[in-house]
Structure formats: structure tokens, C-alpha cells
């Protein structure tokens, strides 16, 4: 769509010249509709996210808490808040690092790089338990089934903010 525009330069005398300029505008109603569609689709995507429906069991998270105390707390602190050398694994700091990324990516990071003094030295089930503990501590709901490698290898699970 083009909008006719009459203009005259400061030095020009005589009749005005007609120019056309492209107009890329959207009505307020259309803009509101587009925004509602985007927000609605994001909310629907989060509602269907398995992470918000529960991926780990309470027992698995309890085992993860014990493993965390033995293997992780010396660097990341007992309350998961980290220190100047290790990132926090809870709250906004956790989301800043991991929101929008795949849960399998977090598992891979844990299982290949941690603990830093002996990377990859723990059994796979222990890393799954640690991941369950991190999810529980960050407020994600539990389920009756434990998190396993088959679930991580399946459909990607995007890390989103936990339910309020």
C-alpha cells in the first residue's frame, strides 16, 4: 500500500510535487490479534510441556539430593546457589543459563563435565537422580515414573520456567 504525500522543499517554489511512500502499518486490532495469537501459542506450548507435567519421581529426587550432597555441594553449595567459581543451579540463575534449551543437553552437561574433579565418573542412574533433584529444587512437579534415558532420548523437552 502506498500513501500519497505532498511535500515541498524549503527552496522550492511553485506547485507541490506528489510523492508516494510505502506504508507498512498494521491496524491496532490486527496487531492485538497477532500478539494474542503469539501469547496463546506460547502458553499452549508450555501447557503441553512434559516438564510441567512431571518427569521424575519423588524417590528419584531424594536419591539425587543425597548424591548432590556427596558430589556437588562442595562447589555449588548446599542450597544450590553456587559461588564465584560455580554457577547457581536454582532460581533465575538456573533459568538464565538453561531456559529454552533441551533437558537432554543439561543431562549431557552433567554427565560429561561433572563433578569437575572427576568428570563423568558417576553411574548414569546417579546423573538421572541428580537431574531429578535439580528439577525438584527448582519447583517442577514430580510424577509417579522415574526419569530415564529413554525419555531424554525421545521428544525434546524444552526447559521453561516452573509453574508458579
pLDDT tens string 16-48: 665 555 555 556 666 565 655 555 444 444 568
Q: What count of Cα atoms within 13 Å lies in the side-chain half-sphere of residue 164?
A: 0
pLDDT at 164: 82
pLDDT at 44: 41
For residues 21 and 39, the answer to whether their CB atoms sit within 8 Å is no
Q: Can you give the pTM of this predicted structure? A: 0.72
Neighbouring CB atoms inside 10 A of 47's CB total 9
Q: Which residues contact 160 (CB under 8 A, 6 or more apart)?
A: 46, 49, 51, 52, 99, 100
pLDDT at 48: 86
- pLDDT tens-place string over residues 66-106: 999 999 999 999 999 999 999 999 999 999 999 999 999 99
Cell 527552496 sits at which residue? 11
pLDDT at 88: 95
- pLDDT tens-place string over residues 103-162: 999 999 999 999 999 999 999 999 999 999 999 999 999 999 999 999 999 999 999 999
CA distance 133 to 140: 10
CATH architecture of 50-153: Orthogonal Bundle (1.10)
Has residue 55 got a pLDDT over 50?
Answer: yes
CA distance 55 to 145: 7
For residues 130 and 110, the answer to whether their CB atoms sit within 8 Å is yes
pLDDT at 41: 44
Spell out a b/e string for 84-121, using b for 16 or more CB atoms within 10 Å of the CB, else e: eebbbbbeeebeeebeeeebbebbeebbeebbeeeeee
For residues 75 and 124, the answer to whether their CB atoms sit within 8 Å is no
For residues 132 and 60, the answer to whether their CB atoms sit within 8 Å is yes
Beta pairing, strands 2-7 & 17-22:
antiparallel
Show the cell assigned to 9. Answer: 522543499
- Residues of each domain in the chain carrying CATH 1.10.760.10: 50-153
pLDDT at 145: 96
pLDDT at 123: 98
Amino acid at each position: 500500500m502506498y500513501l500519497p504525500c505532498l511535500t515541498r522543499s524549503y527552496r522550492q517554489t511553485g506547485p507541490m510535487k506528489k510523492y508516494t511512500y510505502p506504508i507498512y502499518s498494521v491496524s491496532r486490532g490486527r496487531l492485538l490479534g497477532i500478539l494474542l495469537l503469539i501469547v496463546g501459542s506460547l502458553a499452549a506450548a508450555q501447557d503441553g510441556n512434559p516438564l510441567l507435567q512431571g518427569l521424575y519421581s519423588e524417590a528419584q529426587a531424594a536419591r539425587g539430593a543425597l548424591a548432590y550432597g556427596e558430589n556437588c555441594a562442595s562447589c555449588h553449595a548446599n542450597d544450590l546457589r553456587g559461588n564465584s567459581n560455580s554457577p547457581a543451579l536454582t532460581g533465575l540463575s538456573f533459568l538464565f543459563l538453561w531456559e529454552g534449551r533441551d533437558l537432554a543437553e543439561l543431562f549431557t552437561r552433567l554427565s560429561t563435565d561433572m563433578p569437575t574433579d572427576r568428570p563423568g565418573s558417576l553411574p548414569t542412574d546417579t546423573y538421572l537422580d541428580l537431574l531429578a533433584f535439580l528439577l525438584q529444587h527448582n519447583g517442577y512437579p514430580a510424577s509417579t515414573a522415574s526419569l530415564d534415558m529413554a525419555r531424554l532420548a525421545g521428544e525434546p523437552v524444552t526447559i521453561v520456567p516452573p509453574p508458579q
